[in-house]
Chain A
C-alpha cells in the first residue's frame, strides 16, 4: 500500500469508518512508516481537539425560547417569513489546487468498498427504536428482578448467548431485569438498568453490527448510544442519560466483564 493511496484511509481510520480488516492493514503500514505515523498522529490530535465539544456552539437562550414558542404554536399559525427558492450551489473553490482534490477523489473512489458497513447505522437506528418501544408501559421487562443470578439463567434457551449480567448497584445503576428483544430479525438479550429516572437498555448478542475495538458513540433522536465489542459479544447501550454518565455506565460494564466470575 503506497503512502498517497493511504491518505484518505488515514482519515477513515480516525473517523472509525473502516472495517476491522482494513483498519488492521492501515495500522500495519503506519507501524512501519514514520511519515504516515506522524501524519496520523497530527490528524488524530486535530480530530480529538475539534471533536471534543469545545468547538460546538450552544444556541443562545433567546433563540431557544423563540424556537420553543414556535413549535408550541398551532401549525396553522406558523407561516414562513420568507419564500425560499430552491437551493443553488455556489460552491467556492478558490485557493486550492484542483489537482490534489481530484487525486484525493480518485483515491477515495478506490477505497469505498472498505468502509464500514451501513448495516451498523441501520442497527443503531433499530437499537434506538427498540429502546423507545421498551419504554412503553408493560414492555420494559420480561423478567423483573434486581438479582443478576435470576436474570442470567432466564435467558437460557431464549438467546444463543449467556449474556453477562453485571451488578452495578454500588455505582447507583440499579438492575431492573431482562427482556427478550429482536434487532435485525435476531433475538437479542436486553438487560435493563436504571439511574435516577433514566432507563438504560443494554443489548447483548454474538453478532450485532460491525466489530469495534473502541467504543463508538452517537446520538440518535436525542438518545445516546454506545456500541462496543468485548469478550466475543457485541454490546449496545442506549439511554436518555447524558453522554458522560452513559460513558461511565459503559466503563463499569466493560470493567465488570473483565473480572473473572466470582464463586457465589
Chain B
C-alpha cells in the first residue's frame, strides 16, 4: 500500500510538472471557444480532470497539443449537450463600445499604402470571437497558442490542408472585419509600408 501511495504521489508530481505550465494556454483556448469566463473555467477544470485520468495512456509527443485536444473535446461535448441554446458571450458586443475602439485601418484605395494599425486588443478579441467556429479555433491555436500546422491538425483532427485553408479563410475574414469597421482612426499622413520595389 505504501508503495502504491508513493507511486501515486510521483505520478501526480509528474503530471503537475508537465501540465500546469500550460494552464494559461488551455484557458486561452477555452475562453475563445466558450466565449464567456464562467463556461471557460468549467471547461478548463474538466479538461485537467480528464487529462489526469488519462495521463497513464499519454505517450507524447507534446503536452500542450494533447491538453488542447482534450479541452476542445470538452467544449464540443458541452455544445452538443446544450443543443441549439445560445451560449452567453461576455465579449463586448455593445455597438457604441465597439465603434469607440476601431480595428486596424487599411485604406483600400491604394494597395501600396495598405498598412495595419495597432488597435485596442479588446476589439481584436471581439472580432476573433465573432469568427465562425472552425476558423476561430484555427486562428486561436495558431496565434494565441503558437501551435505548428502539424499540431493544429492533430488537435482539430483534420488534415493539414484543411488547417491551411481555415487559417487563410480566418485571416481573410478578420481583415474584412476591420476594413468594414466604421469610424476608424484615420492614419496620420501617408505611410510607405508594404510597397514593392
Contacts and interface: CB of A to CB of B under 8 A. Distances in A.
Interface in A1-54: 7-8, 11-12, 15, 17, 30-35, 37-43, 45-47, 49-51, 54
B167 interface: yes
Interface string B113-129: 01110100100110010
Nearest to A44: B116
A87 B76 contact: yes
Given A57-B27, A72-B12, A8 B139 contact: no
User: Which of A33, A72, A84, A89 counts the most B-chain CB atoms under 10 A from its CB?
Assistant: A84
Given A17-B148, A66-B45, A125-B61, A32 B165 contact: no
Nearest to A62: B41
A45 B104 CA distance: 10
A222 B22 contact: yes
Interface stretch (A96-104, A165-173, A188-196): A96-104
A57 B118 CA distance: 19
Contacts of A47: 143, 171
B92 interface: no
Contact of A222 (B17, B37, B53): B17
Contact of B150 (A11, A88, A105, A121): A121
Interface in B145-174: 146, 148-151, 160-162, 164-165, 167-169, 171, 173-174
> Interface residues of B: mostly helix, strand, loop or mixed?
helix
Given A34-B196, A90-B79, A107 B31 contact: no
A219 B64 contact: yes
A108 B45 contact: no
Given A43-B175, A45-B104, A219-B64, A85 B124 contact: no
Which size bracket describes the interface of A in this complex? 35 or more
A58 interface: yes
Given A34-B196, A37-B195, A71-B12, A108 B18 contact: no
Interface in A59-97: 59-60, 63-64, 66-68, 70-72, 74-75, 78, 80-82, 84-96
Given A51-B143, A74-B8, A38 B114 contact: yes
Interface in B70-126: 72-74, 76-81, 104, 106, 111-112, 114-116, 118, 121, 124-125
B148 A121 contact: yes
A112 B150 contact: no
Given A11-B171, A84-B77, A108-B162, A30 B196 contact: yes
B175 A63 contact: no
A163 B27 CA distance: 41
A91 to B, nearest CB: 5
B128 A55 contact: yes
Contact of A101 (B64, B169, B193): B169
B8 to A, nearest CB: 6
B45 A96 contact: no
B101 to A, nearest CB: 14
Contacts of A218: 146, 148
Contact of A80 (B31, B49, B79): B49
B146 A121 contact: no
B77 to A, nearest CB: 4
Interface string B26-42: 11100100000100010
A56 interface: yes
Contacts of A33: 196
11 contacts: A41-B116, A49-B116, A67-B44, A85-B80, A91-B134, A94-B132, A104-B169, A105-B165, A108-B162, A112-B160, A217-B146
Interface of B: 8, 11-12, 15-28, 31, 37, 41, 44-46, 48-50, 52-53, 60-64, 72-74, 76-81, 104, 106, 111-112, 114-116, 118, 121, 124-125, 128, 132-134, 139, 142-144, 146, 148-151, 160-162, 164-165, 167-169, 171, 173-175, 193-197
Given A32-B196, A49-B118, A56-B28, 14 more contacts: A7-B168, A11-B164, A17-B148, A33-B196, A38-B111, A50-B124, A57-B24, A58-B27, A67-B44, A71-B48, A92-B132, A93-B134, A101-B169, A221-B18
Q: Can you list the 4 inter-chain pairs with the closest CB atoms, starting with the nearest?
A: A41-B194, A222-B21, A45-B116, A87-B76
